[in-house]
Structure 1
Amino acid sequence: MRFDLTDLRLFLNVQETGSITAGARRSHMTLASASERVRGMEDALGVPLLLRGPRGVEPTPAGRTLAHHARVVLAQMDRMRGELDHYGQGLKGHVRVLCNTTALSEYLPPVLGAFLKDHPRVSVDLEERLSHEIADALRAGACDIGVLADSADLHGLRTLTFRHDPLALIVPAGHPLDGRESVMLADVADQEFVGLVEGSALQEHIAHHARRGGRVLSYRVRLRSFDAVCRMVGQGVGIGIVPRVAAARYGRAAGVRRVALADDWAARDLVLCVRETLPAYAAELVEYALRGAPRDAPRDAQTARVSGDAPGRTRSPRRRRPG
């Protein structure tokens, strides 16, 4: 049985995407080459690794076992690269980061810009996911770093407060709610909304809590950025829910007014979570990210938790809710 690192990484990509085609694309190889490699692994083991169906593939018990060991092997290779990187200039590091909508659009771009500028031989794979999906991926070892809402189930994860990230309602100037200090979602659920495109992590978070209250929000238009949402609200198309930081950033130019959301689920923090041990370059990315973290998180504890020099604190969630 001979599997190389390309085989292992390809198989993980296929398993995570649920498709040989998508796994091949993520692995930067042709579908024919990817299919041949997967078949070669199955032939070498003498058992099927994937159950193939019209809607994609699912791992067999043998496939799940292979995926587990592949993650261990590839994580060890990443650590080796990180440690050997101090001795030469030829090795290149790769960090996989999963994050929610707000982290992707508001907080991570300047962090990654500074980090990548200072680390020209490191690349970052950044992907938006729902917070509960990020937590599951971290527990499965499918990513190095996750930035997610503290509303997710964080059991067993090593976490650090990344940013305070409360949500706010935005309304056009002159709206009946203009001037109100706070409001509950139930008070405005019957109004027309402007939101993000379907599938965005924040939009799923809001929709979930609307459904819990027995309501389905009505959207006149869905857009791809907080800037566009604020501008559309400012033109009187509807009202919206965005992170307070986005409302503050775009609100004045868009002509919107900000009203605090009084619902418990709207008062949230973004947390940074890591797997048990990180390569040196991934730990450095965490350090860059925490430079703007709230001051109530002690710096020495942050360093210990990401470097593996001391056991990290396990954080219990205040509430369990997707976001």
Structure 2
Amino acid sequence: MRFDLVDLQLFIAVTEARSITAGALRAHLALASASARIKGLEAALGVALLKRGRRGVEPTAAGESLLDHARIILHNVEMMRGDLAAYATGAKASVHLLANTSGLSEYLPKALAAFLREHPDINVDVEERESTDIATAIATGVADLGFAAEHALQDNLERFLFCEDRLVLVAARRGALAGRRQIDFREVSACDFVGLTNSTALALHIARHAARLGARLRFRARLRDFDAICQMVAADVGIAVVPEAAARRCAGSMPIMMIRIRDSWANRKLAICARSFKSLPRPAKQLVEHLREAAQC
């Protein structure tokens, strides 16, 4: 059984557009040629891949399976082309890693710096995403490696724990919450907050859980990093939710206090994840082994 990459690209285009006509256009093929290729795929596999109706097409169960595999195959082909092109031009190999806000700002920099020193022939491209988005991207083959909250990962993803990432409330030492050691988030949902910009993964995570309490947090300021946020908190502009590691670091030089959040969503474990660690490209495998050794769990 042979698969043509053009057929796989066409099948992805057709299923995403829910139309053979629109899929053919995306794949730069004539409608007749596209229709013949889809029928040829179905004949070769001996199973219907699409349900055809008046409003277009949608994949059958077999079609959904082919779609998952096709995306992974084409992603791997692009990775292969990129790696080989890098060798041909003398450029460095590259690893694409998705990470949530805490991982990107608090836990990855030190580990990645050590890895890059040891592997001068490898670059690491880190992209910030929310943990649930990272899980989806890894599951669908869009990216090779993820660094995300463990609870957001599907059971079929391979993973290993890297560290614990407790979120805490930080407040001015002489503010209204002075003396508190722990708190339910509902108690402070009506307070003034200082937080990360809307586009960050952690800001979305906090907003989602506030919404489940029926609250919409009121922000006096939104900033790009935890140190700046803690400086605002120290000036009693508002309170903030930050990773415990960032809070401890800032508390050493700023008049802020940490308060434990009793809600379960504030207690997270971060994990390195992939569809299959064995099937990763060699540079990604090297990064995985380095992160295993650097893991704090």
Residue in structure 2 matched with residue 279 of structure 1 by the alignment: 281
The CA distance in 2 between the partners of 1:77 and 1:176, in whole Å, is 55
Residue 42 in structure 1 maps to residue 11 in structure 2: no
The list of structure 1 runs, each at least 4 consecutive aligned residues, that deviate by more than 3 angstroms after superposition, is 1-4, 38-41, 44-48, 64-68, 76-82, 88-92
Mapping for residues 31-110 of structure 1, pairs under 5 Å:
41-43=27-29, 46-47=33-34, 68-69=69-70, 71-75=72-76, 78=79, 92-110=92-110
Residue 263 in structure 1 maps to residue 263 in structure 2: yes
Contact map agreement 1:79 1:280 (CA 8 A) in 2: no
Give the structure-1-normalised TM-score: 0.68
Residue in structure 2 matched with residue 156 of structure 1 by the alignment: 156
The CA distance in 1 between the partners of 2:91 and 2:150, in whole Å, is 35
The CA distance in 2 between the partners of 1:178 and 1:126, in whole Å, is 38
Residue in structure 2 matched with residue 197 of structure 1 by the alignment: 197
Contact map agreement 1:78 1:93 (CA 8 A) in 2: no
Supply the RMSD in Å over aligned alpha carbons: 3.4
The CA distance in 2 between the partners of 1:122 and 1:294, in whole Å, is 24
Contact map agreement 1:81 1:279 (CA 8 A) in 2: no
Residue 243 in structure 1 maps to residue 243 in structure 2: yes
The CA distance in 1 between the partners of 2:216 and 2:229, in whole Å, is 19
Larger Rg: 2
Pair 91,271 (structure 1): closer, same or farther in 2 beyond 3 Å: same
Quote the offset at 1:78 in angstroms.
4.7
Quote the offset at 1:122 in angstroms.
1.7
Give the structure-2-normalised TM-score: 0.74
Of 292, 307, 310, the residue aligned with 2:294 is 292
Quote the offset at 1:197 in angstroms.
0.3
More displaced stretch, 90-99 vs 127-136? 90-99
Stretches of structure 2 lacking an aligned partner (at least 5 in a row)? 17-23, 36-56
Quote the offset at 1:121 in angstroms.
2.1
Q: Percent identity?
A: 37
Pair 227,91 (structure 1): closer, same or farther in 2 beyond 3 Å: closer
The CA distance in 1 between the partners of 2:89 and 2:104, in whole Å, is 30
1:111 alignment partner, SS class? helix
Amino acid at match of 1:43: L
The CA distance in 1 between the partners of 2:168 and 2:218, in whole Å, is 18
